[in-house]
Structure 1
Amino acid sequence: MDIRLFNSNSRQVEPFRPQDPDRVTFYVCGPTVYNYVHIGNARGPVVFGVLSDLLRRHFGQVVYARNITDVDDKINAAAREQNVPISAITDRFAAAYRADMAALGVPPPDLEPAATDHIPQMIRMIEALIERGHAYAADGHALFAVDSYKDYGALSRRSTDEMLAGARVEVAPYKRAPGDFVLWKPSTPDLPGWDSPWGRGRPGWHIECSAMCEAHLGETIDIHAGGVDLQFPHHENEIAQSTCAHGGKVFARYWLHNGMLTFDGSKMSKSVGNIRRVHDLVQEHPPEALRLALLSAHYRQPLDWSEGVIEQSVRTLDRLYGTLRDLADVEAGAAVIPDTVEQALADDLNTPLALAELQRIAADARRSEGAERASIKAQLLGAGRALGLLQQAPEAWFARGVSADDDTRIQALVEERVAAKAARDFARADAIRKQLADEGIALEDTPQGCRWKRAG
């Protein structure tokens, strides 16, 4: 069965042919950890997590990386406001991010590189760009010379004027051209910084992902994915600097971009006040219903987020778990992913069609009799597994509880509590302890770290 993916670079659906079927390389842009993420930030991890599982079923090894951006001006501002080191901010919100993603059933990536662990790699890449004439140093900065790369703008299909407007470029005297973008910038004594050939400073945003990709996945990777809002300037700049640093080699062979979320028809915006944080939503609603809602539209299309969408997802899961409850006395054996579900996912990750198949199988299960009930239950569980759904006991769903074995989510919450204490957010640390206690999880702080166990 071929996997077919829409390649944003070619603007068409193409058969997926990895460089090495025994080692598929897959990179997704991760969060900048200065605050809790909103529900729109969760769409990529959810849908691309489904894709990573699909790839694992069809190829040998899949190396799936999703980075952590832990050096950024927003992080600096938050640390300054709270009078703590940037690590207190980044550790806390990276832990919160992992906990929120675990609650949504997002599998952890194989690799989670952090930007601050790759400063030497970034410096080496910038040095290579300067040596090859694609970048230059000026006034403590290092900048990429956009006119040195003739294919700049090919991914986003934007004209030079559109790119300048879209990037909101800074007009600065040290730039040779307005569109040149920062690879390295100086740090004042009150800001985090690292020694470099251009002085003490910190990296620009775009160089971080290029360096982390190179360090862990190689100079040419199979798939690079992220939100469509990252296509320009972030992904465009990644392509330019990586291609030029590697002597013209293709940076990513397939580019995938998920569509944005709106809220009741309007763009999510802090100024409007309609941002919904995952951290809050997973407390207000069953996390599995949030996951289903994120999968309900095709990943490339916009998704309008509303209470109605969540309520519909809850009702859908009520029916599905009700079917499993009715089949409780049936021994299904191993879950089996139906071909129709696998084919839907292999066709550019068509989750709406896969969900329709899931519901059709559930309807068949409700009508099934005799020996066929075991087979249809196995298919129902397998279809759910392919989408990260129906993985808890029906009793837990109807009690709006959690599965008895989701150790990943619990451990992520424990780590978030540790980070919150380090950031002196004792209210959040106490809230996590209470949340876990209500779930029957006891915590013990020891010199070796925090340990947890289930009561009874």
Structure 2
Amino acid sequence: MHAWPASEVPALPGKGRDLRIHDTATDGLITLDPGPVARIYVCGITPYDATHIGHAATYNAFDLVQRVWLDTKRQVHYVQNVTDVDDPLLERAARDDIDWVALAEKETALFREDMTALRMLPPRHYIGAVEAIPGIVPLVERLLASGAAYELEGDIYFSVEADPDFGKVSRLDAATMRLLSAERGGDPDRAGKKNPLDPMLWMAAREGEPSWDGGSLGRGRPGWHIECVAIALDHLGMGFDVQGGGSDLAFPHHEMGASHAQALTGEFPMAKAYVHAGMVALHGEKMSKSKGNLVFVSKLRRDGVDPAAIRLALLAHHYRADWEWTDQVLQDAVARLDRWRAAVSRPDGPSAEALVEEIREALAHDLDAPTALAAVDRWAALQEERGGTDEGAPGVVSRAVDALLGVAL
């Protein structure tokens, strides 16, 4: 599977700062110190309703992570998956009487278009669950052979008790885990499981549903969590720098994935930091496909909204915050974009060296984009009020905003 084209990232003078970011597993800020190549895995979409503003906010957060790392003169090895076979996708395809493969391909293509328009830097490896199956099957077989997995009526389950560090990602109690498991694709009430929280690794073939040859596992399809584990281990290895996604993935997805990987390798942790973006609401409720309260990036673009304004609307909120999309949020972003573009359109202006450092400092401190935006606002206000004599300043600001915030002025 191919990703989308990369927009050019301007090189800035000097060097950025190492990133301090909130780690869910420790519930605190940690300083990331990757090697020459920083490694990040971000969980991708299940392609049946893409791309809504909630998606865009999540991928914007991890785009900022990449930009901070690039500004430190590191390379970035970014991997993202596409869950192109799963129950929600199959259910949507059946509802709309459309082939599930065609639906996945259509929505994935739309996602690529939206990511390109928003200037999100693409992953080096963009891998679908279906194409990952040949690498998933041997992992499930290894877990079975080691006693970390078991068979139940043809399905294969992972035993959470096989990982002594299970629970360290989300830090939730068992009752909360069971509740969230039921809400988020698990089956805690299925009879015969060793532990209600045990997640499925391999689902035996069901009539009328797609399945693949699983070798000794029989025909079937992979569970949700093992998909990401197989892709991450194949392309990044254990101990990569950041595992990212929305806050709703901390449990069960990232918790289970970490346990799968740790049971397979005997190493801990799977990722040095588990980083989670907040949820976006509409009309007082979290945006979700089930509720149908979605604002789509493609619809905004068709309505003539500049993608740079959409991106500024996302950046106006701290990535970990839960917030609500409103018409005012978008109007404010459009107005800010107009002010910034007017400010950099002049031949000279106030010195911009301090501004670049302010943006760097804000982003290095847990991706504080709102503070970075406020710094640019102040420079633009000075430009409007009294201008300046630095002929290179508008160009410096334009390049810095592009390189660090992904907004083309």
TM-score, normalised with respect to structure 1: 0.79
2: distance between equivalents of 1:163 and 1:371?
A: 60
- Structure 1 distance, partners of 2:137, 2:289, is 34
Write the deviation string for residues 72-103 of structure 1: whole angstroms up to 9, x where unpaired: 12222344455554321211111001111222
Per-residue deviation, 1:68: 1.0
Please, which of 276, 280, 286 is the counterpart of residue 257 of structure 1?
A: 276
Structure 1 residue aligned with 2:393: 376
Match of residue 320 from structure 1: 340
2:324 to 291, 304, 307: 304
- Specify whether residues 296 and 369 from structure 1 end up closer, same or farther in structure 2 by C-alpha distance, changes over 3 A only: closer
- Kept in 2: contact 1:27–1:64 (CA 8 A): yes
Letter in 1 for 2:24: S
Equivalent-residue separation in structure 2 for 1:278 and 1:388 (angstroms): 16
The structure-2 alpha-carbon separation of the partners of 1:178 and 1:95, relative to structure 1 and needing over 3 Å to count, comes to: same
Distance 1:269 1:82 in 2: 18
One-letter code of the match for 2:261? S
The answer to whether 1:16 aligns with 2:32 is yes
CA 1:203 to 1:337, structure 2 compared with 1: closer, same or farther past 3 Å? Answer: farther
Structure 1 segment 156-235 matched on structure 2, within 5 A:
156-168=170-182, 169-170=186-187, 171-196=189-214, 197-235=216-254
Aligned counterpart, 1:363:
381
1:293 maps to what in 2? 313
Greater alpha carbon shift after TM alignment, 221-230 vs 68-77 = 68-77
| 1:64 counterpart residue number | 78
SS at match of 2:82: coil
The C-alpha deviation readout for 1:287-333, integer Å capped at 9, x for no partner, is 221111111011111122101110111111111112233x1x4599x
User: CA contact under 8 A between 1:221 and 1:251: conserved in structure 2?
Assistant: yes
Q: Which amino acid aligns with 1:7?
A: D
* Shift in CA distance, 269/224, structure 1 to aligned 2, threshold 3 Å: closer
Q: Alignment partner for residue 37 of structure 1, among 28, 36, 51?
A: 51
Kept in 2, the 8 Å contact 1:361–1:379? The answer is no
- Structure 2 counterpart of 1:95, one-letter code: A
3-state SS, counterpart of residue 318 of structure 2? coil
Change (3 A) 1:217 1:337: farther
Q: Could you list the per-position Cα deviations for residues 93-144 of structure 1 after superposition, in whole angstroms to 9, with x for gaps in the alignment?
A: 1100111122222222222111111112111111121222211122211101
1:145 alignment partner in structure 2: 159
The reply on whether 1:388 has 2:402 as its aligned counterpart is no
Alpha-carbon displacement from aligned partner over 1:21-56 (angstroms, at most 9, x marks no partner): 112110111100123332111111112112111111
Aligned equivalent of 1:5:
21
Percent identical among aligned pairs is 34
Q: How many residues align?
A: 385
Q: Secondary structure at the match of 1:46?
A: helix
Counterpart in 1 of 2:11?
Answer: none
Partners in 2 of 1:323 and 1:108 — Cα distance? Answer: 29
Q: Structure 1 residues 370 and 312, CA, compared in 2 at 3 Å: closer, same or farther?
A: closer
Q: Which moved more, 1:271-280 or 1:101-110?
A: 271-280
Contact 1:27 1:224 in 2 (8 A): yes
Structure 1: unaligned runs, 5 residues or longer: 393-456
Q: TM-score, normalised by structure 2?
A: 0.88
Query: SS at the partner of 1:67?
Result: strand
What is the Cα deviation at residue 338 of structure 1?
A: 0.9
Structure-1 residue corresponding to 2:61:
47
Contact kept, 8 Å, 2:281 with 2:325, in 1: the verdict is yes
- Rounded to whole Å, the distance in 2 between the matches of 1:146 and 1:370 is 62
Distance 2:224 2:289 in 1: 22
Q: Distance in 2 between matches of 1:246 and 1:74?
A: 31
Change beyond 3 A, Cα 1:83–1:367: closer
Give per-residue Cα distances to partners, 1:186-222, cap 9 Å, x unaligned. Answer: 1224221111222110001111000000111112211
Structural mapping, 1:299-448, within 5 Å: 299-325=319-345, 327=346, 329=347, 338-367=356-385, 371-372=389-390, 374-385=391-402, 386-389=404-407, 391-392=408-409
Of structures 1 and 2, the one with the larger relative CO (CA 8 A, separation 6+) is: 2
2:147 is matched with 133
User: What SS class does the counterpart of residue 348 from structure 1 fall into?
Assistant: coil
Tell me the residue number matched to 2:107. Answer: 93
- Residues 121 and 307 of structure 1: CA distance in aligned 2, closer, same or farther (over 3 Å): same
1:118 to 1:337, Cα distance in 2 relative to 1, 3 A:
farther
Q: CA deviation at 1:161?
A: 1.7
Give the 3-state SS of the residue equivalent to 2:44 in structure 1.
coil
* CA RMSD between the two structures: 2.3
